[in-house]
Amino acid sequence: MNPDSLIPFRVRDLAAYVPGEQINRPGVIKLNTNENPYPPSPTVAEALAQVSGDALRLYPDPLAREVCGILADLHGVKPGQILAGNGSDEVLALCTRAFVQPGQGIGYLDPSYSLYPVLTAIHGARMTPVPLNQAFQWEPGPAPANCPLFFITNPNAPTGMLHDREVVAAFCRSYQGVVVIDEAYVDFATDTCLDLARTLPNVLVTRTLSKSYALAGIRFGYAVGNSELIGALYKLKDSYNLNLLTQKAAAAALRDQAWMKNLVERIRATREAFVGELVRLGFSTFPSETNFVWTRPPDHLSAPDLYQALKRQDILIRHFSPPGLREHVRITIGTDEQMATLARALQNLCA
């Protein structure tokens, strides 16, 4: 029997999500997956050290009550309005399963987070991209038909720009389905739409500890919103979707807001200085409200060539090949030292 014939077409033909390269050899400057260059709060390691071997013998709390309680206090909602998951990617996948029947549409802005079309395909739903304009701005038109779910990344990725809150709010108010506002990068931004999740019955906001809290390795993300929508996600999640170590680490990190805010301030300052360098070298940049910069190299240097040239020097940035994206690169903001090394490399390439 040919094992291939055992796999449904939908899975066989699936173009799986391609994560950024994970090359972690010493000396590599890794600016390709929007990780935080600084360590998380020291209270995280302390909390992990306190977990005994005996505690690991038992299953973790399936409802992650400690950490959901902290999040509820932080966001001024009831614990039943929070669902925590194994990274916000899990939460986004749960949304497709909870709110959409296979065959229906899932809407998302294009470009935005490249996982949405993959989740749509996995669920057997119809991809319904809504294009941004040439300047990567959203000019809302009529809402797409038969799409019970719509994803908005805000601030957007890979462009780093924040959609105007009034545009987002008006869209959510008129939308006849669930709107998920993916705020993975919001701690680096000047505005949030969390109030929409608190006040509108059809809006969920998702967040992650992977970026501003420097905890991509623990896999912790969550959704905030209407308790009935959140309840639907609880029905579908794995019973023990958050392991004990992740629950403890996340609780410690969330209790240390000052640490996260300090990391954000440092990264924002580095971002502004680095954008200045890019502009000086003739790159076109977009106003970033995230921990990365979306930029187009000067005419004599193509984006794929830039990506390859930096890779040869052990500096990893992200290049996306689809039309509309391939002229640009996305560069994560690292430490001042890493960005100075990158700026020197760019200067040599532009000379």
87 binds ligand PLP (CB under 6 A): yes
Binding window for ligand PLP (CB under 6 A); candidates: 9-17, 84-92, 248-256, 307-315: 84-92
Of 163, 164, 35, 175, nearest in space to 111 by CA = 163
Q: How far is the CB of 152 from ligand PLP (least distance, A)?
A: 10
3-state secondary structure of 285: strand
151 binds ligand PLP (CB under 6 A): no
List CB contacts of 303: < 8 A, sequence separation 6 or more: 296, 297, 319, 326, 327, 328, 329
83 binds ligand PLP (CB under 6 A): no
Which phi-psi region, left, alpha or beta, contains residue 160 (left: φ > 0; alpha: ψ -120 to 50)? left
Ranges within 16-35 binding ligand PLP (CB under 6 A): 34
Q: How far is the CB of 324 from ligand PLP (least distance, A)?
A: 17
Q: How far is the CB of 200 from ligand PLP (least distance, A)?
A: 20
Largest CA distance in the chain: 61
Give the count of residues interacting with ligand PLP (CB under 6 A).
13
User: H/E/C letters for each residue in 321-347?
Assistant: CCCCCCCCEEEECCCHHHHHHHHHHHH
Ranges within 99-138 binding ligand PLP (CB under 6 A): 113
Binding window for ligand PLP (CB under 6 A); candidates: 72-80, 82-90, 332-340, 342-350: 82-90
Binding residue for ligand PLP (CB under 6 A) from 48, 200, 216, 232?
A: 216
Of 82, 127, 83, nearest in space to 102 by CA = 127
Q: How far is the CB of 158 from ligand PLP (least distance, A)?
A: 8
Binding residue for ligand PLP (CB under 6 A) from 31, 67, 157, 275?
A: 157
Please report, as ranges, the residues that interact with ligand PLP according to CB under 6 A. 34, 87-89, 113, 153, 157, 182, 184, 208, 210, 216, 221
